[in-house]
Amino acid sequence: MVLVRPRNPLNIGAAARAMANFGLSRLCVVSPFEPHWREARSAIGAPDLLQNAKETESLAEAVADCSLVLGTGTLTYRKPEQEVVTLPALGPRIASELARGGRIALVFGPENHGLTREDLSRCHLLVEIPTDSRQPSMNLGQAVAVCLYELAARAFPLPAGAGQGIPPETPVPGAGQPEPGPAQPVPAALSGSLDLLAGVVEQTMQAAGYSPRSMQAANRHDLRLLLRRLHLNQRDVRRILGLFRRVLWRLNNSRHWPRHGPRPRPEDTD
């Protein structure tokens, strides 16, 4: 569970209490507004969870080791740029990711405006909380409770250990020895790996003169979204990273281009 720039410590405490209600214990708070949020009295039954929560300066740092990042919000005033999934349909996606050993972050934005467009560029999916258009805003603690209830009671019963990032155990067939089965799937790319790849691709685009400086921020945003839409695994990221690093080195050391091959022309980089 990740709370981004929360303003009211009581809401952080309420979110921690809801997590304890449904058996989750890994909480990360990103750049909280109040410095003494760990003392929130609303964390009834969950003081240890609040004390052990991780604090980071950025959302990128908070979700760096996650393979599936789920942003939450309403669509009333938002035009989504990634796939939208409803709460009842979220269970199978979580079950599939846990089955292959992935780690999942469920991300909530600040009370005053929710997740920003920049925040959502680091999310694979947008989880829609279906509120009435006349009152789309929901209290942060209540939003956390609603999502966890939906997952635990209707869509997907959370397995023991899910809150610790541990995939559910699979029964071992046979008398002590696992039976042969299909090859294990390659783990999905972690968010931090995708950000690293995005950074190298951006450097390559700049070295190639891909677009004017005024477009670099927009390109960076679109690139983060694109890489998450591709559903890359860790092996994919390593290969693509190696390719772009080689191209970047060649662009930065143009004198090393092979004489028998064509040198890049400006019109070829558009």
How far from the centroid of its chain's Cα atoms is residue 250's Cα? Answer: 32
pLDDT digits (tens, 9 = 90+) for 80-108: 899 999 888 888 888 888 888 899 999 99
The CA distances from residue 61 to 81, 92, 134, 142, in Å, are 22, 26, 35, 25
**CA nearest 107: which of 118, 123, 92, 87?**
123
pLDDT digits (tens, 9 = 90+) for 148-186: 998 887 645 554 445 444 344 434 333 344 444 456 667
125 token code pair: 């999916």
pTM over 0.85: no
Cβ atoms of residues 140 and 111 within 8 Å: yes
User: 189-205 burial, b for 16+ CB within 10 Å, e for fewer?
Assistant: bbbebbbebbebbbebb
Identify the weakest region by mean pLDDT among 121-125, 130-134, 256-260. Answer: 256-260
Domains recognised in the chain with CATH numbers = 2-164 (3.40.1280.10), 191-269 (no CATH)
CA 199/CA 152 separation, integer angstroms:
37
